[in-house]
């Protein structure tokens, strides 16, 4: 009985489902999918359930999109071996910024996939584009840009360990505008000190 009480307390205090899903996503990807190049697009699949919806119980809650993007990033890191290379250098990865453009809702009980692609990198971060695509119509429901700050290592040197990423691609125009807006925001915050 005390074990069940402890388990219930853990379930209340920590988001156990999140950790189980993280573990499942990474392990299932490694066991059942082939390794990918760091420049390849990866995909995970999901279903909008009653735990994902907004207060009107019609479509996915905006906060849930960000949570699902976490799982897609973990999957990308596992399949490409990128995180393993970061860890070899005693580094880590943290979310530095993200921006989501919602184009159309994902209705309840609709299956979707999240496609993740590395689109650029600099000395300190990698930049991912992630898209939510509904399986019924192939429509891109939301697009996210993500800045993943890589700690304790030079990302340009790190990327040279991947033969397909020896040459950095040209920075996409939308990414440049987004990074410019982040810099403007940072300048404003520095002035407010």
Each residue of 132-162: pLDDT tens digit?
999 999 999 999 999 999 999 999 999 999 9
pLDDT at 190 over 90: no
pLDDT band at 7 (very low <50, low <70, confident <90, very high): confident
Q: Is residue 138 part of a domain?
A: yes
Residue 3 confidence (pLDDT): 87
Domain membership of residue 193 (yes or no) is no
User: Mean pLDDT across the chain, nearest whole number?
Assistant: 94
Q: What is the pTM for the complete model shown?
A: 0.90
Tokens at 136, concatenated: 């019924």
Per-residue CA distances from 91 to 28, 81, 121, 124, 187 (Å): 24, 14, 16, 11, 27
| Torsional class of 152: left (φ above 0), alpha (ψ -120 to 50), beta (otherwise) | left
Whether residue 192 lies inside any domain: the answer is no
Residue 112 lies in a domain: yes
Q: Which of 169, 2, 165 is nearest to 82 (CA)?
A: 165
Q: Does pLDDT of 192 surpass 80?
A: no
In a domain, 159, yes or no: yes
Range of the domain at 146: 3-187
Residues 6+ apart with CB under 8 A from 162: 37, 38, 39, 80, 82, 85
Q: What is the pLDDT of residues 63-109, one digit of tens each?
A: 999 999 999 999 999 999 999 999 999 999 999 999 999 999 999 99
CATH (domain of 38):
3.10.129.10
Residue written as token pair 């499942």 = 24
């Amino acid at each position: 009985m005390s074990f069940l009480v402890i388990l219930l307390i853990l379930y209340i205090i920590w988001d156990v489902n999140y950790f189980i899903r993280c573990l499942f996503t990474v392990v299932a990807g490694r066991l059942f999918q082939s390794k990918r190049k760091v420049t390849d697009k990866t995909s995970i699949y999901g279903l909008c359930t009653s735990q994902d919806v907004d207060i009107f119980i019609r479509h996915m809650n905006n906060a849930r999109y960000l949570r699902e993007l976490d799982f897609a990033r973990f999957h990308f890191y596992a399949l490409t071996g990128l995180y393993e290379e970061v860890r070899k250098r005693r580094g880590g990865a943290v979310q530095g910024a993200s921006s989501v453009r919602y184009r159309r809702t994902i209705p309840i009980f609709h299956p979707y996939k999240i496609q993740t692609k590395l689109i650029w990198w600099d000395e300190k971060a990698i930049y991912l584009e992630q898209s939510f695509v509904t399986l019924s119509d192939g429509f891109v429901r939301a697009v996210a840009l993500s800045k993943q700050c890589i700690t304790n290592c030079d990302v340009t040197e790190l990327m040279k360990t991947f033969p397909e990423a020896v040459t950095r691609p040209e920075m996409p125009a939308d990414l440049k505008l987004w990074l410019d807006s982040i810099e403007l925001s940072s300048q404003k915050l520095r002035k407010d000190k």
